[in-house]
Structure formats: C-alpha cells, structure tokens
Amino acid sequence: MIAAIRPSAWDFPLFLHVLGAMVLFGSVSATAGISIAAWRRPAVVALRRSAFWSVLAVSVPAWVLMRGGAQWIYSKEGYGGNHDPTWLGIGFFVADIGLIVLLVTLGAAFWWQRSGNAVAARAVAGLSCLYIALLVLAWLAMSGKWG
C-alpha cells in the first residue's frame, strides 16, 4: 500500500529509500533509548559504546541508503526542482538537515564514549530525540503527500 500506482522501474529505489528510512528510525530510537537510560549512569561502558556504534555502524549507512534511494527515485520521477510538491521539499529538507544532526550526534557519541561525560550523554539523548521528531515529520509528510 506504500505507493499504489507507479511504474515498476521505481520499485527498487523506493525499497532502498523506505528500508533505509526505517532502519534509520530504529537505530536512532535505540540510540535515544540508550542515552536516556544513561542519564543517571553516564559512565556505564556498554551504554557509551552502544550509542557510538549504533550511530556509526547503523544510522550513518542507513542514512546513505535512504538519501541515495531518494535521489535515485527523484531522478526517475523527472522532478526538476521547480514547483516540486511540498511533501518532497519537506523530505529533502529533513534528509539534508538530518545529516548535520546525525553527524553532530556522532561527534557527541564519540565524546561520550571517550570521556563518560554526562553532558555528552545528554547531548546524544537530545539530538537523537530531535532527529526522531524530524523523521516522523518527514514520513508523515511523504506518506500523506502533504501539499
């Protein structure tokens, strides 16, 4: 039901895009949960390592899959950047701003892993929650075809 009417040539890029977005949402949620659980115990080694590796080994590759799939299907659909629908603009905005949020989260997770600092753990928690909110906005806009 994800997209009812479209040429079959769009299926694979759409699959990559959706799969990447879903794995990205899951891994960022795991990072958020880990860093919130570390609120009162930021020095726990397993939590520090888990947050860092979750972002580096899962979220970043998932972002590449999501963004690559998006660009591929965008080129197949023949949009040119002028008069693109609102939902598409929201999707690209969240994807591109999201990379900055993700990289800052990765930096904070690296700092937390190295130092065990509570401020770093809380920065990871805040940034990953912010990113979850952005991802929810993007999937609602794109699946509901806003505008």
Q: Which of 9, 40, 45, 78 binds other proteins (CB under 8 A)?
A: 45
Contact 135/98 with Cβ under 8 angstroms? yes
Q: How far is the CB of 64 from other proteins (least distance, A)?
A: 15
Minimum distance of other proteins from residue 121's CB (angstroms) = 14
Report the 3 state secondary structure along 16-39: HHHHHHHHHHHHHHHHHHHHHHCC
Smaller CB distance to other proteins: residue 114 or 145? 145
| 8 contributes a contact to other proteins by CB under 8 A | yes
Q: Which of residues 12-41 bind other proteins (CB under 8 A)?
A: 14-15, 18-19, 21-23, 25-27, 29-30, 33-34, 37
Which letter, b or e, does each residue of 48-87 get, where b requires 16 or more Cβ atoms within 10 Å of its Cβ?
bebbbebbeebbbebbebbbebbebbbeeeeeeeeeeeeb
What is the CB neighbour count within 10 angstroms for residue 8?
A: 6
The least distance separating other proteins from the CB of residue 12, rounded to whole angstroms, comes to 8
52 touches 32 (CB < 8 A):
no
107 binds other proteins (CB under 8 A): no
**Residue ranges in contact with other proteins by CB under 8 A:** 1-4, 8, 11, 14-15, 18-19, 21-23, 25-27, 29-30, 33-34, 37, 44-47, 49-50, 53-54, 58, 62, 139-140, 143-144
